[in-house]
Chains A and B, each alone.
Chain A
């Protein structure tokens, strides 16, 4: 029994590391976008389109890292589109987000039809297996470099929000657009840039899906990670470091189903697979109250205003 428990624990750890990466990228991007005062719900579409373009470019060029870059650039284009439409008068960022989500997924399916069959070169993991002799842990310690890039990005973003002019201006724009305007800051430009960077990161998150785990391109690739990342940003109170913790938690929850199955518990498999979604729901309920406003929320955010 304790063997099974270890197996599940190790599998969940491996899952947390593996599954969390797309959550991490999308939520870091979304955290930056929301810090600037806009919410981009279209990241799900960006993620799927990023996954498709990464796979396609990796297949065509033979280099998975070129694929990652392509996914990021494709994501930036979606971010730019969001930023551009939202600066028009009386346009709701939420409606544009939903439109871009559907558009991104649709477009990815349209262009991705031809890439479902072929096998593209995938990203290689870094093997930390030498650290242990346990065979299960050896497998778990195959970690993708993107995970470490995500961790580094979280620290950089956290630092930059407090210690750079760019960071302060993003926070100012997100908290009080009137102040930013009074100081001659172009609110639309700041949000455009923040949304574009957010799109880039979401695209890279998508590349991880198609080029590493699960590691192929098909239409059922994303199970709503892009949308859950929005919940995750609220859960982490717009703090990039908390995003890491939240992404790991969501990753571990996502690995629960397969982990239990691997030790022979297949009862309630689908229920355990739904763990991240249930977690999303639980967190949103637990973290909101009808009586108090959300702590730490950027003042300009349309959902919390």
Chain B
């Protein structure tokens, strides 16, 4: 299907290879994205997806290999040349300037931005542009005040405003509710079908691939391991290509507990965000023993603040937290006494000291108790290392030694080390936030199994996750947070993706 009349352009990589020092991040990858298609790029974290697109966009210089744009060989040496060739990319982390308005963001991104800006004229031109677009965002609002979905739309609008004909989208729906995601993807799909645009979409959601993509390419460990027309592949084939022969730990079976008592009880919890605005509003939540309550929601709806309140990183404005009927204040000795543990998101930032050793990090909860401490003040490194070695073996943390600084470990191993610290004792309450974000399949499976085992053992688990699939898989009961409130609470069997999606968007 050659769209000579269309504006969309096709891009091809030929034998793309990128080597960082001794690490081969990308090896001989040749993919062909035909004009006017929506092409999905699948792969685990670390499979080389971002390296590939960054080579295409001129952020990295490939060690070997070349690129064809519209069938012509093209050297893309830096992002500016990519933009000259009408290639653009929407990053997962937004590249909008928060304090600038949408209009300012658009105008300043233009290469021919005039030295003195005639705003009256520009606003008219922008309104005219917006009128032609499938979706629009308010122009005069500072980006910081836009919702995540609006920011994502603005990012895509920016690419179109800059007249890009080939756009890479890096996990474009990760901050959207399921409904928003469907709306946006079908609009984009429409644009590719009309030949206005070619899209290469990085994703790990099979649902989006099968519903919207025309073709798919799958990367594993830097190599192209599969691909083709989406209609001709099953999700099973795609998953197998993505994971390869990695042994995945069998998920623990879910034990039925019957009626159990309430362990963690939040009533009318209020908290504010960093700007002093209300972030958590009147949250009531009960977690029973042997139960996982999953809090779903688009990020930025108060989940992080709630977790921070529970882990002592943020003040409680109002309300009560009870653990087994006793008032709970998240300070060290109460966590210890009431057996409250947590797996935080971004563990290297929230639950570990990056420059302390693995052994020291593992001992953070126990260093002031025997056998590490004697006489109440004397710390002996011997027992600390011994304990660390035990846990490193038991939780399969890959580290050169117990004395390695935590920051040198990979993301999965940092999470395993934190897991070892938090879960090795007797756990009554476990607070978990996005535990598998950015981890590979094997680690994800391992960590989810551990969480499930704690539940089976009788711990009350509060799981906050932006990954709805994770909640659907793990939770016994689901609660949805939107705008700082719980908008839905239901047993997992009594609700579905659609109802949860509506609640995530603020509906009831």
Contacts and interface: CB of A to CB of B under 8 A. Distances in A.
Contacts of B117: 163-165, 168
Contact of B116 (A163, A175, A291): A163
Contacts of A166: 115
Contacts of B108: 165, 168-169, 172, 183
Interface stretch (B4-12, B91-99, B411-419, B454-462): B91-99
B114 A184 contact: no
Contacts of A289: 276
A163 B78 CA distance: 28
A171 interface: yes
A165 B113 contact: yes
**Candidate in B108, B273, B274, B275 with the most chain A CB atoms within 10 angstroms:** B108
A270 interface: no
Interface in B23-53: none
A182 B91 contact: yes
A175 B115 contact: no
Nearest to A296: B99
* Chain B interface SS verdict (over half): loop
B61 to A, nearest CB: 16
Contacts of A291: 272, 274, 276, 315
Interface string A280-299: 00000000010111011011
B100 interface: yes
B104 A168 contact: yes
Nearest to B117: A163
Interface string A150-185: 000000000000011110110110011011001110
Contacts of B273: 292
Contact of A184 (B78, B96, B107): B78
Contacts of B226: none
B119 A175 contact: no
Nearest to B114: A165
Contact of B99 (A163, A165, A299): A299
A85 to B, nearest CB: 25
A287 to B, nearest CB: 13
A33 B46 CA distance: 38
B274 A175 contact: no
B100 A168 contact: yes
B112 to A, nearest CB: 10
A164 B109 CA distance: 13
A140 B98 CA distance: 44
Interface in B280-301: none
A292 B98 contact: no
Contacts of A168: 100, 104, 107-108, 113, 117
A163 B97 contact: no
B386 to A, nearest CB: 37
A190 to B, nearest CB: 12
Interface in B80-127: 80, 83, 91, 93, 95-100, 104, 107-109, 113-117, 119
B483 interface: no
B95 A175 contact: no
Interface in A66-107: none
Contacts of A184: 78-80, 83
Given A168-B117, A182-B79, A176 B98 contact: yes
Contacts of B99: 171, 175, 296, 298-299
A178 B276 contact: no
Contacts of A164: 115-117
A167 to B, nearest CB: 9
Contacts of B116: 163-165
Interface string B254-281: 0000000000000000001111100000
Contact of A183 (B100, B109, B114, B275): B109
A176 B95 CA distance: 8
B109 A295 contact: no
Nearest to B57: A182
A178 to B, nearest CB: 6
B115 A178 contact: no
A265 to B, nearest CB: 41
Contacts of A292: 272-276
B105 to A, nearest CB: 8
A295 B109 CA distance: 24
A164 B118 CA distance: 9
Nearest to B95: A179
A172 B100 contact: yes
B90 to A, nearest CB: 11
Contact of B275 (A165, A293, A299): A293
Contacts of A183: 79, 95, 108-109
A55 to B, nearest CB: 37
Contacts of B95: 176, 178-179, 182-183
Nearest to B107: A168
Contacts of B96: 176, 179
Contacts of B100: 168, 171-172, 175
A291 B99 CA distance: 20
B483 to A, nearest CB: 19
**Candidate in A172, A289, A298 with the most chain B CB atoms within 10 angstroms:** A172
Contacts of A295: 275
Contacts of A298: 99
A158 to B, nearest CB: 14
B103 to A, nearest CB: 10
Nearest to A168: B108
Nearest to B108: A168
A163 B113 contact: no
B414 to A, nearest CB: 23
A295 B83 CA distance: 34
Contacts of B79: 182-184
A129 to B, nearest CB: 39
B342 to A, nearest CB: 22
Interface in A249-305: 289, 291-293, 295-296, 298-299
B115 A165 contact: yes
A172 B117 CA distance: 15
B232 to A, nearest CB: 36
Contacts of A179: 95-97
A161 B431 CA distance: 45
Contacts of A175: 97-100
A176 B97 CA distance: 6
A197 to B, nearest CB: 16
Contacts of A171: 97, 99-100
Nearest to B275: A292
Given A168-B104, A175-B100, 10 more contacts: A165-B108, A166-B115, A172-B97, A175-B97, A176-B96, A179-B95, A184-B78, A184-B80, A292-B274, A293-B275
Interface of A: 163-166, 168-169, 171-172, 175-176, 178-179, 182-184, 289, 291-293, 295-296, 298-299
Interface of B: 78-80, 83, 91, 93, 95-100, 104, 107-109, 113-117, 119, 272-276, 315
9 contacts: A164-B117, A171-B100, A183-B109, A184-B83, A289-B276, A292-B275, A293-B275, A296-B99, A299-B98
Return the 6 tightest CB-CB contacts between A and B, nearest first: A292-B276, A168-B108, A179-B95, A184-B80, A293-B274, A172-B97
